[in-house]
Each structure stands twice: as C-alpha cells, then as structure tokens.
Chain A
Amino acid sequence: MNLTLHIWRQDGPRDGGAFQTYQAKDISEHASFLEMLDVVNEELIKAGQEPIAFEHDCREGICGSCGMMINGVPHGPRGMIATCQLHMRIFNDGDEIWIEPWRATAFPVIRDLVVDRGAFDRIIDAGGYISVRTGSAPDANATPVHKHDADRAMDAATCIGCGACVAACPNASAMLFTAAKVTHLGLLPQGQTERYARVVDMVHQHDAEGFGNCTNHGACQEACPKGISIDTIARLNRDLMVASWAAAGE
C-alpha cells in the first residue's frame, strides 16, 4: 500500500519545527506502524537525508516508549494498544496520516517525534514507591491481599508510563498516570505506610512539572493502551481529601 505521511520534524529542543510530507511506498499491510516508519527512514538515509527520530524499544507494548499522535489519536485509531502494536492493515491504500509528538509543556520535544518524559520519573520519585525491608523474598501469602484489591491493584499497575493520557487530555493533565500509581500502591498492604504522604507529594510534583488540571473529560482512559480507568482518579481524589484534612488538623 502507498501512503502520504505528514510528519512533525524538529531539529532539536530549540528548533521551531514544521510538518514535512513524505510518500511511503509499497508498505506491507502486515507491517507494524514502526516498521513502516523504518522503511521510510531507509529511503531517507539512502537519499542522504536525516531519518525521522522516534522512540521505541520493546516493540511489544510493554516499555511505553513508542508513543506518538497518529491522526489526532495517541497510539493511533485502534485503541488498547501501543503504536508498536498498530498494524498497517487498519489503514487503506492512499490514506493520509498525520504524525505528531505528544504535546505538553511538561513533555518538551527533544527531536521530531521524541519527547522528554522525565517529568513522569520525577512524579514517581516523589512518592511512587514503598519503603520495605529488601533482601530475602518474603513467604508467599505471608501478607494476605483480598482478591478484589489484588485485581484492581494489578489493573492499575499495568500502566507503562507512555504518556498517552497526557497527550489525549484537553488539559494536558497527567492525573491518570499519577492516579494509576497511587491506586496500585494504595490498595496493597505494603503501600499503606506512605499512602497519604504519597498522594500529596505526587500531586504536588505533578503540578510542579507543569501538567494541567484534570476536569474529568475521560479522554485519558479512551487513549490508554492498557485501558486504565478513571476510577483510579476518583480514588486519588479521595485519598488527597483525606490527606489534606488530616494534615491540616494536626
């Protein structure tokens, strides 16, 4: 199949950047979206031009690095997958495809489609961990966890930190990312010690990074390749209210 691609090219963080149009020729419908870009890049290299920079690592939907906006939807139109799992067969011969980097002040563009998601790491640093004695593994089932909680914690833990929630959010808020971590750790017994300090510190870091304010549009959960629910955000809100209430009363 043949496609017309409009791709955001930007030489570096300080470059203005612009869309460039490319023709992708003879693309196999079995190719993944990233393989299609590989083909385009080979042609660019042969022609002595700079290849399109995009991030990728696992190419199986678990590392979270390959995010890009495809025709206005994070990770493309399929839903519940990352860009690397998107196949060209869902497009039609002759389609035009617009490819842009995530747009958020907290995710500055490094080059072309690659953005710096370091803000996520700093939100995790602020409280997305538990403090326990490490060393020998504890006995299995030494700490009982209700099946219901374990399931919900696992659902939240599937977050791969790709940033699609921020990219889709009309407010460029990272509340779904933050809430997934708060929910994952806050539901488990090991996460209780730091539960309320965690939510305050992580939300504080979220705001300091320059993410926007969640207004419950729900676009994030539509965009999330792992289908994480905004119920996690309701839970974060509840924990934050309890934390603010308790802290100010001290």
Chain B
Amino acid sequence: MRRVVALYRSSVGKKVLMAVTGFVWFGFLLAHMAGNLGAFLGQEHFDAYAEHLRVVGEPMLPEYSALWAFRAVLIATFIAHVVLAWQTSRQSHQARAVGYRKQENLSFSPASRFMRWGGVLILVFLVYHILHMTTGTLHPDFIAADASGHNAYHNLVTGLSNPLVAAFYVLALTAVAAHLFHGVWSLMQTLGAAHPKYKHLRRPVATIVAALVFLGFVSVPVSVLAGILR
C-alpha cells in the first residue's frame, strides 16, 4: 500500500495507477465479451453460463461470493480510475488556464482527445447497463433469476430488441473502442514499454484490440436487431 501511495503522490504515478486500473477493466472486457458471444451457442448454453457465474467456487465458497469478490475489484478499480482521471484532468486544466486563439492539433490520434468525454459517456452507459441487464430496473420485460435458474438469454434478447436501446449500446461501444485505441497504446507508454525492438508493435496491437472488442460486443445487439438472435 505504501508503494501505491508513493505512486499516487506524483503526476506520473497517478498515470501508472490509471494504466493498471484501466488494464484490469480491459481484461474484464475481454472476459465479458467472450461470455456474451456465448449467446450465439443458444439459450441453454447462455443461461447455464449466467448460472455458473453465480455459483463459481461452490462448494468451497457460498454462492455469489466469488461473483461479489470479483465485482468488488471491478468497482474499486473503476472508482480509482475515474477519480484519477478527474484529478489529472483538473491539474491539466489549471496548467493551461489561458488558452490560445489559434492552436493546431498536433496530437497523433483523435482518440487521445476524446478520453475524458468518452470516459464520461462510458460511465453513463455503465450505470444504465447495470440498471438494464443486471438489476432489470430499466428493463421493460425483465425476468429475475430464481431457483429454476437464469433467464439471461431472454433478458438479453428482449432488452436489445428496442432499436433505440441497441443504438445506445453501439454508441457506448464506439466510445469504449476509441478509449481502448488510445488507452491500450497509452498504457504501454505509461508503463514504460518502449523497447526499440517492439515499440512499433504498440499501435497495431492497440488497433487490433480496439477493433476486436468493438466487433465482438456489437455483434450481439446487431444480431438481435437482425433477428439472428431470438
């Protein structure tokens, strides 16, 4: 913990912590995406997977405990990431209190300029997404899990069959893809990975990762709208 505090004290250290927390979420996104793609294997498979998440670790652990431990890590890293984003952004705004009349954009990717607003969009989406697919509060036809098992597939398909909802999912995923396009590259730079032999691979890796995450996630709402997932 003292090491984390030592990092937190400096601007560079804050970025390191952002990179690490962002990386945790990046890992989660890959797992989440793989889980979603299970919808293409049919309703039974998908519902069984949802049920599996609930009981991971049984009988060693009570049901939901592994899931909640996992959620705790995600919540903590997300909050840390957002708070650090806010603090570092504020530092930067104060550092350029007076702006230019004219300023060319010399940054090498437009995505880097979209991190802060894109991040806010992701945050809004995340709140909606949880109220939509996890608690069902904002879902018009939600069937909660009960003793007979999960209805995740039903909730997924009915939830995304509204074109406006599906469009919002696609919009949010565009922001996530842009965030990763810069974020994955930035993460390697922040963590000091700039070896002359491999540094030219950072851009292609970030591009491929962003494209994969985008296509993997977007395939689900698009397939629901197209009637492929019913």
Please list the residues of chain A having a beta carbon within 8 angstroms of any beta carbon in chain B: 6, 8, 19, 69, 71-73, 98, 100, 103-106, 168, 170-173, 175, 200, 203-204, 206-207, 210-219, 222-223, 230-231, 233-238, 240-241, 244-245, 247-249
Interface residue from B3, B97, B107, B186 paired with A248 (Cβ < 8 Å): B3
Given A72-B103, A207-B10; A212-B96 close (CB under 8 Å): yes
Please state if A222 and B108 are interface contacts (CB–CB under 8 Å).
Answer: yes
Q: Which residues of A contact B192 (CB under 8 A)?
A: 234-235, 237-238, 241
Please state if B108 and A218 are interface contacts (CB–CB under 8 Å).
Answer: yes
Judge if B7 is at the interface, Cβ distance under 8 Å: yes
Please state if A212 and B104 are interface contacts (CB–CB under 8 Å).
Answer: no
Given A234-B194, A248-B2; A241-B7 close (CB under 8 Å): yes
Q: Can you name 11 extra interface pairs (CB under 8 A) apart from A73-B104, A103-B98, A235-B192?
A: A69-B102, A100-B100, A173-B95, A211-B95, A213-B91, A213-B95, A215-B92, A218-B112, A233-B189, A234-B190, A240-B16
Please state if B194 and A235 are interface contacts (CB–CB under 8 Å).
Answer: yes
Please state if A204 and B10 are interface contacts (CB–CB under 8 Å).
Answer: yes
Name B72-121 residues within 8 Å CB distance of A: 88-89, 91-109, 112-113, 115
Please state if B112 and A104 are interface contacts (CB–CB under 8 Å).
Answer: no
Q: Which 10 A-B pairs have the closest CB atoms?
A: A238-B192, A212-B95, A212-B92, A234-B194, A171-B92, A219-B106, A172-B95, A72-B102, A217-B107, A213-B88
Complex-state Cα separation, A180 to B165, whole angstroms: 49
Name B1-56 residues within 8 Å CB distance of A: 2-3, 5-7, 9-16
A-B contact pairs, 21 of them (CB 8 A): A72-B102, A98-B102, A100-B100, A100-B102, A172-B95, A175-B12, A203-B11, A207-B91, A212-B93, A212-B96, A214-B12, A215-B186, A216-B112, A231-B199, A233-B189, A237-B191, A240-B13, A241-B16, A247-B6, A249-B2, A249-B3
Please state if A237 and B92 are interface contacts (CB–CB under 8 Å).
Answer: no
Closest to B103 in A: A72
Q: Which residues of A contact B5 (CB under 8 A)?
A: 248
Judge if B185 is at the interface, Cβ distance under 8 Å: yes
Judge if B193 is at the interface, Cβ distance under 8 Å: yes
Q: Which residues of B contact A218 (CB under 8 A)?
A: 106-109, 112
Q: Which residues of B contact A235 (CB under 8 A)?
A: 192, 194
Please state if B191 and A69 are interface contacts (CB–CB under 8 Å).
Answer: no
B-side binding surface: helix, strand, loop or mixed? helix
Most-contacted residue by chain A among B89, B105, B192 (CB, 10 A): B192
Please state if B106 and A168 are interface contacts (CB–CB under 8 Å).
Answer: yes
Q: Which residues of B contact A170 (CB under 8 A)?
A: 92, 96, 107, 113
Q: How many A-B residue pairs have CB under 8 A?
A: 151
Q: Which residues of A contact B115 (CB under 8 A)?
A: 215
Please state if B112 and A217 are interface contacts (CB–CB under 8 Å).
Answer: yes
Indicate with 1 or 0, residue by residue over B167-198, a CB within 8 angstroms of chain A CB atoms: 00000000000000010011001111110100
Please state if B199 and A69 are interface contacts (CB–CB under 8 Å).
Answer: no
Q: Which residues of A contact B6 (CB under 8 A)?
A: 244-245, 247-248
Complex-state Cα separation, A173 to B6, whole angstroms: 20
Closest to B13 in A: A244
Complex-state Cα separation, A129 to B222, whole angstroms: 59
Complex-state Cα separation, A49 to B159, whole angstroms: 71
Please state if B3 and A69 are interface contacts (CB–CB under 8 Å).
Answer: no
Complex-state Cα separation, A211 to B192, whole angstroms: 21
Complex-state Cα separation, A100 to B91, whole angstroms: 23
Please state if A103 and B107 are interface contacts (CB–CB under 8 Å).
Answer: no
Q: Which residues of B contact A219 (CB under 8 A)?
A: 105-108
Q: Which residues of B contact A206 (CB under 8 A)?
A: 11
Given A170-B107, A173-B95, A249-B3; A216-B101 close (CB under 8 Å): no
Please state if A104 and B189 are interface contacts (CB–CB under 8 Å).
Answer: no
Q: Which residues of A contact B106 (CB under 8 A)?
A: 73, 168, 217-219, 222-223
